[in-house]
Structure 1
Amino acid sequence: MARWSSPKDPALEAALRRNRRWVVNNQIKRLLLRFPSRAAPVRFLQSRFKTLDLMGRAANWLRKYPSCFEVFSADAEGGSGEQEPYFGFTKRMAALVDAEEVAVAASEPAMADRLARVLMLSCGRRLQVSKLAALRGPLGLPDDYLLRLLPAHTDLFRLSNPYPHRRNAAELELIRWMPSLAVSAVEAAAAANNSAPRLTCSLPASWAKSQAKMEEFNSTPYISPYSEEWPVPGTDAEAEKRAVAVVHELLSLTLWRKMSILKLEHFRREFGLPEDTARMLLRYPCLFYLSNRYKIHTVVLREGYEGSELREKDPVVAAKDRLGDLMQEGLHEYNQRRRAANLEKKRRRGEIEVKKEEEKVEDQEVARLDSAEKREERRRFYKVLFDDGNP
């Protein structure tokens, strides 16, 4: 898989750029939300540090993000009366976490629609719950999405276990077909423009060969990914055309218009995708961008982005972006404080002399003024030399 990537697109690479720190902090946030008081012992986080792929002391990590987490002392568990360090959200972080929860709650109807569409794309209109966990992040589903959605949509979803003797065999099943949802993003765009559905090329005109290939691809009728007639995967052009439409629709349902290729190939059988899905995606650069950034092979829906920004940003994505901005602010504040402390230590040890720094600034100011005076003197000299009134 290492060679399966598209020619580099700087804008989309920037969109994929993510800092591992933000991923870790989001996991810490989720751990903290498991506690009703939103406060947990630092030793609890320390015990989970290896699972977060981190080393060192948890307290040091928390201090790097003073705008997000605060460390304080509280009574230890067990009623021993001893104090131990705890950590929790700052007021600003807690407000943003609450805002994210409000956005998630408001998006529950949209979540139900996305989940129903995914089940409609799958064979038999059902998927294993254990496999759906891989799609939870891309689809923007919270950890407790089953508890949120199933009680409110008993007429739409049902949990079943066709193999009681197997572990993790529970399946989420779509009870009834929803004609109103069986409209792909391509078909919806075509209806809005009063035209026939067709996939559009998001590459510039200079990619002439890719543009021509896309025209050839569109020369035959579009196959809806929600069509109940499935060609055998890998047998002919019609099967590939449907597979391309399925991947396009699946990426259109994700919040960030991207997905790990490994996760996508995890559903080959359920979505009727070919065995060599990555190679198939590479044949359609007008539609898909493949990246191996951070050694994670990812497919991006090109039309979902304008440069490096999403064309349509879900409210949940906007809420998560605000959390990321706060984390960035906290790290910057920590780095500034640490730099100031290091400079102060060096000054105390005599490695940096304040007077020399002041003299350097004064010298720079004198040089600047001197240069300004010389420029003014030259200006007066040439004015006198070339003045028309001069004999």
Structure 2
Amino acid sequence: MVVQVPKGEVLMGRLRSWLQFNGNAHNVFAKMPERKVLPGESPFRRVCVRLMTTSKRVQDRSKEKKVRELEVATEKWKIASKVMFLMEMLKSEPDMIMTVRSLEQYRRQINLPKPHKISDFIRKSPKLFELYKDQRGVLWCGLTNEAEDLLDEHDGLLEENGDKAAEHVTRCLMMSVDKKLPLDKIVHFRRDFGLPLDFRINWVHKFPELFKVVKLEDGEEYLELVSWKPAWAITELEKKTLGLTEESDDHKPGLLSLAFPMKFPPSYKKMYRYRGKIEHFQKRSYLSPYADARGLEAGSKEFDKRAIAVMHEVLSFTLEKRLVTDHLTHFRREFVMPQKLMRIFLKHCGIFYVSERGKRFSVFLTEGYDGPELIDKCPLVLWKEKLLRFTGYRGRKRDIPTYSDTLEMEERELLDSGSGDDSLSVGFEKYDGDVVTDDDEMDIDEVNDAYEEDDKV
């Protein structure tokens, strides 16, 4: 007896086998129940529909928690990150120039999808980047004089920020369960903490009294704490709430009963419904991020509140009081935090704000912002805002000169004292996504589960 299998089910089986072989079946079919494919229906279409509807549910369920001002801030910082990445790539070249074709390999890093051209992205910032063709017609990109001056200024600010960055890295080591962290993970915080490009090569060796690089048996390099600093075991919340200073050399971290500052989205009406639960949460004691947390039971209320304190502390260290959520998930084991961090962020939307703009999610410390503006701006943040004023182009497109034309242009510039910027204006184009440095991204199913859990509260 021969049993005929519908063609649609055969295709679905092949697709499922292919994804299992490539290790992606869980992501695609985790929420996909077994059911027959309708006649004439493509299994590939169903996969696409499933993924898109899941994403749409996430957006619909978070409408009342949207904060437009912080979404604007997200877009602003992401644009700056993209431009900074290209500037750093050009700076790393001996002559600080690269062919546009070579820059194409960094599409993923600036999240520039096809068919958009990277040359068009570069043209958006004519005050920072120059395009020209050589005698063979090859298109090259270089930095303007203003861009080189900005990079020199940035290097000076990074040098000045070195001691503060070293303190924040040390305090992260003090919060870790083994008092050491993999260098491959710390590098994700490079821009957020204000660390230089040579972080792994030179910078980590400049503070031998604080930490050192060790290589374990598996060959992985770690940054290990050298000496415990009692004065640095005081949380940022203790400093603000209790007025504690770093002058104490005998401070011992323990239980805390400090309320977290909260700013709810204006349209979040559930705040009044859950006022009692919020007050109860604020009064609950929790272990300091710098205390030993190995005795806490995973999943307990004390465990979760201590995780909130850890995330609050790490976000307080960042320049923008903002992080890509993936970067925090890298440290779940080292900082003794729950697997479902997104659930914590969404449940406590008065402390944190999650922006879904772009390919990756960002989490903000709400107390750090007044509308779209960061309240405390360090020199590196002010520099980044200065950089943003050099981006954006809404005038007519400039013709790309050949190499011989640039020589004539340089001669004319010696005689012409005008700025030539009449057609330039600051304007931000929407390029969703942040600078991606790894393939580890927040699973959309995890986000969806977090919203479902939050709706049950």
Interval of TM-score (by shorter of Structure 1 and Structure 2): 0.7 to 0.9
Indicate conservation of the 8 Å contact 1:282/1:290, yes or no: yes
Report which of the two has the higher share of helix: 1
TM-score (norm 2): 0.64
Mapped to 2, the partners of 1:24 and 1:202 lie a distance apart of 29
- After superposition, residues 64-143 of structure 1 pair within 5 angstroms as 64-72=124-132, 86-143=140-197
The CA distance in 2 between the partners of 1:318 and 1:306, in whole Å, is 16
Change (3 A) 1:302 1:47: closer
Q: Residue 12 of structure 1 aligns to which amino acid in structure 2?
A: L
Secondary structure of 2:232's aligned partner: coil
* Cα distance between partner residues in 2 of 1:35 and 1:9: 40
**Percentage of identical aligned residues:** 27
Which amino acid letter does the alignment assign opposite residue 130 of structure 2? E
Q: Write the letter of the residue equivalent to 1:174.
A: L
What CA deviation, in whole Å up to 9, does each residue of 1:50-69 have, x standing for no partner? 76545576555544432111
Q: Name the residue aligned to 2:394.
A: 332
Structure 1 match to 2:238: 187
- In 2 relative to 1, CA 268–19 (structure 1 residues): closer, same or farther, beyond 3 Å? closer
Among 144, 153, 175, which residue is 2:226 paired with? 175
Report the counterpart of residue 381 of structure 1 in structure 2.
none
Calculate the TM-score normalised by the size of structure 1: 0.74
Query: How far is 1:312 from its partner?
Result: 0.8
What secondary structure, in the 3-state scheme, does the structure 2 residue paired with 1:35 have?
coil
The separation in 1 between residues aligned to 2:121 and 2:312, in whole angstroms, is 39
Identify unmatched segments of 5+ residues in structure 2.
Answer: 1-53, 246-255, 400-457
CA distance in 2, matches of 1:263, 1:104: 21
How many angstroms does 1:279 deviate by?
Answer: 1.2
Cα offsets for 1:129-166 (capped at 9, x unmatched):
11222222322322212344333211111111122xx3
* Structure 1 stretches of 4+ moved >6 Å: 193-196
Mapped to 2, the partners of 1:281 and 1:57 lie a distance apart of: 36
Structure 2 residue identity aligned to 1:145: F
Match runs of 1:140-179 below 5 Å? 140-163=194-217, 166-167=218-219, 169-179=220-230
Where 2:287 maps in the other structure, the secondary structure is coil
Compare 14-23 and 278-287 and name the one that shifted more.
Answer: 14-23
Q: 1:257 aligns with which of 318, 321, 326?
A: 321
In structure 1, C-alpha distance between the alignment counterparts of 2:350 and 2:123, rounded to whole Å: 45
In structure 2, the CA distance between the partners of 1:276 and 1:151, relative to structure 1 (3 Å rule), is closer
Moved more, 82-91 or 99-108: 82-91
Residue type matched to 1:32 in 2?
L
Residue number among 381, 384, 392 corresponding to 1:320 in the alignment: 384
Give the AA of the match of 2:261.
T
| Residues 231, 238 of structure 1: 8 Å contact kept | no
SS at structure 2 position matched to 1:67: coil
Aligned residues: 326
Q: Please, which runs of 5 or more residues in structure 1 have no aligned partner? A: 76-81, 339-391
Cα distance, 1:151–1:11 mapped onto 2, change above 3 Å:
same
| Post-superposition offset of 1:23 | 4.0
Shift of 1:263: 2.2
